[in-house]
């Protein structure tokens, strides 16, 4: 597109949608912007839903990024409480039969929580502000909670419930939590966080069916029940409404490295719904992380306006669990080797303070830290420059303790 568009329509009023609007304005766009959101709430932040809101340290309103007054400062037309149900070129069809046409469209509709086959209506998930408010309220009357899935959301909900005196059991189908993202050895450290934190974690445990909304049957034929069951097994890109668009939605909406939807002109996608071309992986890759979404919003805004794109960043993810920050820089999934850089968690010592490096072909591609933010941050630049293993180990406290 050679001309700067006059009217930008952004679909999805969450983190990615709002940040794109803010980036367009801060980069000098003076034309019209319309922000469409399925929820009635103004844009809000999701990480606090499973942290501060669930543990009661924040009232729900504090998660709001911008109220209607704040949105008015951006001079944006808002259409909230209306779901987009179709896209024809750069015209967005809404569920009430109306349509909004833009010169360009940005898709930022995120994901929905994955559910299990036959999941009863009384079994809960956590994705939205309303989910978090309902779950927090339910804690008052619970004595036991069964969580399916030991990922970051499962861990954070387990912490909040345990702190409220609820007896928590977590079921994980894989041998250790977060194995796909962090590998078996570091997953074992994550498992220790659960068990040392007072959670009954059962790995290698599969559900065969729901007996009712409070009881599951396991693959060994036994049953397990609790006052409430929460399923936290990941999410699915919200692409159903794009079914007739002809986009490649195999794993979210396929985009180039600037967020332009493949095979279109005038449509961009970002955030959890988008699968951007990732040169370092040599394929499209979809991230479901806060910082990636924010980074992508400035790339999309600069691409729409033809301004200088921001410098590349190192991916960053965090989770707050069991009294510490679990943080990751880089692309741990690319690694063929891990090495303990700080602490002694991999030798049976405390998990807190442990930092692990991830290497591919002898080059640092990622790090993960458990309650060690100051130590972790020094490796961000080394990941960006592709530092060699020896140079990384020379920076570390525990270079000799290498895992395979
Ligand atoms: C409980 C929770 C905790 C999290 N904690 C962390 C964390 O600690 N660290 C981290 O890195 N990431 C975390 N994340 C992930 C992070 O919040 C997401 O990566 C981020 O919100 C993605 O932004 P997005 O704009 O793509 O999607 P969202 O923020 O989900 O926004 C999408 C919006 O689009 C709307 N929408 C959907 N379909 C339509 C439609 N058809 N029409 C109109 N609107 C539609 C939705 O209602 C939603 O408001 C967490 C997520 C959750 C749910």
Residue 312 lies in a domain: no
Interval 36-77: pLDDT, tens: 999 999 999 999 999 999 999 999 999 999 999 999 999 999
Interval 180-218: pLDDT, tens: 999 999 999 999 999 999 999 999 999 999 999 999 999
Residue 1 lies in a domain: no
> Are residues 83 and 150 both part of a single domain?
no
- The two tokens of residue 195 are 């068990």
> Are residues 331 and 243 both part of a single domain?
no
pLDDT at 398: 63
Q: How many domains does the chain have?
A: 3
Ligand 1 contact, 12 CB (< 6 A): yes
Ligand 1 contact, 360 CB (< 6 A): no
Are 10 and 104 in contact by the 8 Å Cβ rule? The answer is no
> Are residues 95 and 28 both part of a single domain?
yes
Ligand 1 contact, 127 CB (< 6 A): yes
Are 215 and 171 in contact by the 8 Å Cβ rule? The answer is no
pLDDT at 4: 86
Domain boundary among 278, 305, 332: 305
* Residue 250 vs residues 238, 261, 273: alpha-carbon distances, Å: 12, 13, 11
Read off the CATH number of the domain in which 138 is found: 3.50.50.60
Rounded-to-integer distance, Cα 280 and Cα 295, Å: 17
What do you get for the CA distance between the two ends of the chain, in Å? 49
Domain that includes residue 270, residue range: 7-112+235-305
- The two tokens of residue 404 are 């395979």
> Are residues 344 and 365 both part of a single domain?
yes
> Are residues 95 and 242 both part of a single domain?
yes
Rounded-to-integer distance, Cα 54 and Cα 200, Å: 20
Residue 401 lies in a domain: no
> Are residues 217 and 138 both part of a single domain?
yes
Residue nearest atom 4 of ligand 1, based on CA coordinates:
47
Domain boundary among 231, 260, 278: 231
Ligand 1 contact, 108 CB (< 6 A): yes
Residue 25 lies in a domain: yes
Burial bucket for residue 284 (CB in 10 Å: 0-12, 13-18, 19+): buried
> What is the CB-side half-sphere exposure of residue 320 using CA atoms within 13 A?
11
| Ligand 1 pocket test target in 9, 14, 44 with most atoms within 8 Å of CB | 14
Residue 318 lies in a domain: no
> Are residues 16 and 98 both part of a single domain?
yes
> Are residues 227 and 241 both part of a single domain?
no
Residue 314 lies in a domain: no
Read off the CATH number of the domain in which 378 is found: 3.30.390.30
- How many whole angstroms from its chain centre is CA 113? 11
> Are residues 20 and 85 both part of a single domain?
yes
Strand 200-202 and strand 207-212: the pairing is unpaired
Residue 316 lies in a domain: no
- The two tokens of residue 391 are 């140079």
Residue nearest atom 13 of ligand 1, based on CA coordinates:
47
> Are residues 97 and 121 both part of a single domain?
no
Per-residue pLDDT of the chain (404 residues; tens, 9 = 90+): 457 899 999 999 999 999 999 999 999 999 999 999 999 999 999 999 999 999 999 999 999 999 999 999 999 999 999 999 999 999 999 999 999 999 999 999 999 999 999 999 999 999 999 999 999 999 999 999 999 999 999 999 999 999 999 999 999 999 999 999 999 999 999 999 999 999 999 999 999 999 999 999 999 999 999 999 999 999 999 899 999 999 999 999 999 999 999 999 999 999 999 999 999 899 999 999 999 999 999 999 999 999 999 999 999 999 999 999 999 999 999 999 999 999 999 999 999 999 999 999 999 999 999 999 999 999 999 999 999 999 999 999 865 444 43
Strand 228-231 and strand 144-148: the pairing is parallel
Tell me which residue has tokens 């809101």.
53
Residue nearest atom 20 of ligand 1, based on CA coordinates:
290
| Ligand 1 pocket test target in 19, 46, 327 with most atoms within 8 Å of CB | 46
Ligand 1 contact, 272 CB (< 6 A): yes
Distance 386 CA to ligand 1 centre (A): 31
Question: CA quadruple 119, 120, 126, 128: dihedral positive or negative?
Answer: positive
Q: Which of 117, 107, 90 has its CA nearest to residue 249?
A: 107
- The two tokens of residue 240 are 């159903």
| Ligand 1 pocket test target in 285, 290, 294 with most atoms within 8 Å of CB | 290
Ligand 1 contact, 45 CB (< 6 A): no
Residue 286 lies in a domain: yes
Query: How much of the chain is helix, strand and coil, in % rounded to 5?
Result: 30, 30, 40
Ligand 1 contact, 237 CB (< 6 A): no
> Are residues 244 and 154 both part of a single domain?
no
> What is the CB-side half-sphere exposure of residue 176 using CA atoms within 13 A?
16
Domain boundary among 256, 271, 305: 305
> Are residues 218 and 119 both part of a single domain?
yes
Q: What is the DSSP letter of 353?
A: T
């Amino acid at each position: 597109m050679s001309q700067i568009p006059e009217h930008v329509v952004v679909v999805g009023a969450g983190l990615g949608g709002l940040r794109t609007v803010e980036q367009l304005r801060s980069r000098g766009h003076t034309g019209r912007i319309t922000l469409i959101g399925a929820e009635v709430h103004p844009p809000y932040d999701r990480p606090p839903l499973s942290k501060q809101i669930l543990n009661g340290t924040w009232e729900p309103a504090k998660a709001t990024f911008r109220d209607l007054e704040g949105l008015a400062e951006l001079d944006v037309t808002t259409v909230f409480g209306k779901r987009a149900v179709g896209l024809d070129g750069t015209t967005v069809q809404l569920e009430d039969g109306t349509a909004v046409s833009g010169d360009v469209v940005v898709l930022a509709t995120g994901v929905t929580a994955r559910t299990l086959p036959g999941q009863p209506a009384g079994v809960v998930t956590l994705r939205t502000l309303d989910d978090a408010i309902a779950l927090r309220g339910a804690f008052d009357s619970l004595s036991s909670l069964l969580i399916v899935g030991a990922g970051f959301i499962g861990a954070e909900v387990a912490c909040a419930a345990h702190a409220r005196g609820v007896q928590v059991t977590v079921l994980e189908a894989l041998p250790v939590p977060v194995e796909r993202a962090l590998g078996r050895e570091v997953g074992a450290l994550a498992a220790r966080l659960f068990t040392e934190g007072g959670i009954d974690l059962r790995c290698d445990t599969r559900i065969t069916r729901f007996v009712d909304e409070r009881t599951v049957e396991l693959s060994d034929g036994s049953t397990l029940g609790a006052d409430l069951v929460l399923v936290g097994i990941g999410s699915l890109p919200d692409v159903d409404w794009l079914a007739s668009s002809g986009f490649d939605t195999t794993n979210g909406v396929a985009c180039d490295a600037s967020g332009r939807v493949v095979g279109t002109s005038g449509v961009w996608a970002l955030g959890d719904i988008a699968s951007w071309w990732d040169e370092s992986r040599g394929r499209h890759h979809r991230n479901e992380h806060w910082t990636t979404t924010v980074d992508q919003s400035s790339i999309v805004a600069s691409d729409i306006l033809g301004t200088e794109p921001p410098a590349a960043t190192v991916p960053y993810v965090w989770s707050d669990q069991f009294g510490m920050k679990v943080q990751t820089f880089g692309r741990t999934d690319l690694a063929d080797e891990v090495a303990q850089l700080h602490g002694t968690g991999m030798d049976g010592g405390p998990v807190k303070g442990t930092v692990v490096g991830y290497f591919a072909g002898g080059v640092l591609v990622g790090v993960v830290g458990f309650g060690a933010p100051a130590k972790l941050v020094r490796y961000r630049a080394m990941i960006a420059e592709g530092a060699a293993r020896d140079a990384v180990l020379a920076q570390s406290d525990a270079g000799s303790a290498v895992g395979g």
